[in-house]
Amino acid sequence: MKIRVLTGAGISAESGIPTFRGKDGLWNKYDPTELATPEAFQKDPKLVWEWYDWRRQLIAKAEPNEGHKVLAQMEENFPDFWLVTQNVDGLHQRAGSKKVIELHGNIWKVRCIGCGKEDYDYRAPLPEIPPECDSCGGLLRPGVVWFGESLPVDALQRAYELSEDADVFIVVGTSAQVYPAAELPFVAKRRGAKLIEVNPEETPVTPYADVSIRESASTGLRKVLELL
Ligand code: APR
């Protein structure tokens, strides 16, 4: 059975990582155009890095929760399993998931805007802000996808292919507002997949879901594991 999962910020909520939308969402407090666009970084790299350094420190202190662990267990139980995530926190990998496609990059990656060198840098807090490239001295940027930027082509292509041949497509903890990620559940559904949603709130996906579990990720995914 080909199982595909799409996760969003909601699966890390129980690890204490704020989501972007909804009542305590980050975009209620911060303006994404000031912090999560190439123009914002160009205008004030120090401000953008202070925000990412704050998020990195938060994530460094967080632990994967039961929801992440159930998905790692699902990968063990089902040979043809893939996890596509919009999240950049790396908590899926820390929970043991290996077959992970990161559509929006990874907050632990840094990329030099001078020479293009990309590395993982797990220091939290960063010793200097904004950080500089150790090869060319250029300015480093977070290795994440900002609003207005295109997604990594290979990751997106792979995510579409996997969604097209899914038997079961599980959507967890995403408000399904941001494209192209939000299209994947519909790609799977159109191709005949069983669509399961786990989210305490309704989303644009809900009317199309064969099973809609109005629970948190950890509770809901345990139920899904029993269903499979
Ligand atoms: N368990 C499951 N879902 C939850 C939980 C929980 N404990 N708590 C909240 N949610 C749900 C919310 O109901 C909401 O539908 O998680 C979803 C979070 O939605 P968003 O904050 O919009 O996060 P996401 O859908 O991942 O955002 C997509 O937008 O800001 C950009 O690049 C960023 O990847 C992000 C993209």
Peptide bond into 180 cis (omega under 30): yes
149 in contact with ligand 1, CB cutoff 6 A: no
Over residues 94-142, the pLDDT tens digits come to 999 999 999 999 999 999 999 999 999 999 999 999 999 999 999 999 9
On whether the pTM is more than 0.75, the answer is yes
Last residue of a domain, one of 122, 144, 166: 144
Catalytic residue flag (residue 104) = yes
Task: Say whether both 209 and 138 belong to one domain.
Answer: no
13 in contact with ligand 1, CB cutoff 6 A: yes
Q: In what order do the strands lie in the sheet with 81-85?
A: 100-102, 81-85, 3-7, 168-172, 194-198, 211-213
Confidence at residue 104, expressed as pLDDT on a 0 to 100 scale? 98
Considering only 5-19, 20-34, 49-63, 168-182, which range has the smallest mean pLDDT?
20-34
Task: Say whether both 206 and 138 belong to one domain.
Answer: no
Task: Say whether both 177 and 218 belong to one domain.
Answer: yes
Task: Say whether both 217 and 169 belong to one domain.
Answer: yes
**CATH number assigned to the domain comprising residue 55:** 3.30.1600.10
What is the domain range of residue 136? 18-61+107-144
Confidence at residue 219, expressed as pLDDT on a 0 to 100 scale? 98
Distance 166 CA to ligand 1 centre (A): 22
86 in contact with ligand 1, CB cutoff 6 A: yes
The tally of domains found in the chain comes to: 2
Kindly give the interhelix angle for 217-227 and 66-77, rounded to the nearest 10 degrees. Answer: 20
**CA–CA distance, 88 with 105 (Å, rounded to integer):** 6
**CA–CA distance, 112 with 88 (Å, rounded to integer):** 18
Tell which one of 68, 175, 202, 206 to mutate to probe ligand 1, the residue whose CB is within 8 A of the most ligand atoms.
175
224 in contact with ligand 1, CB cutoff 6 A: no
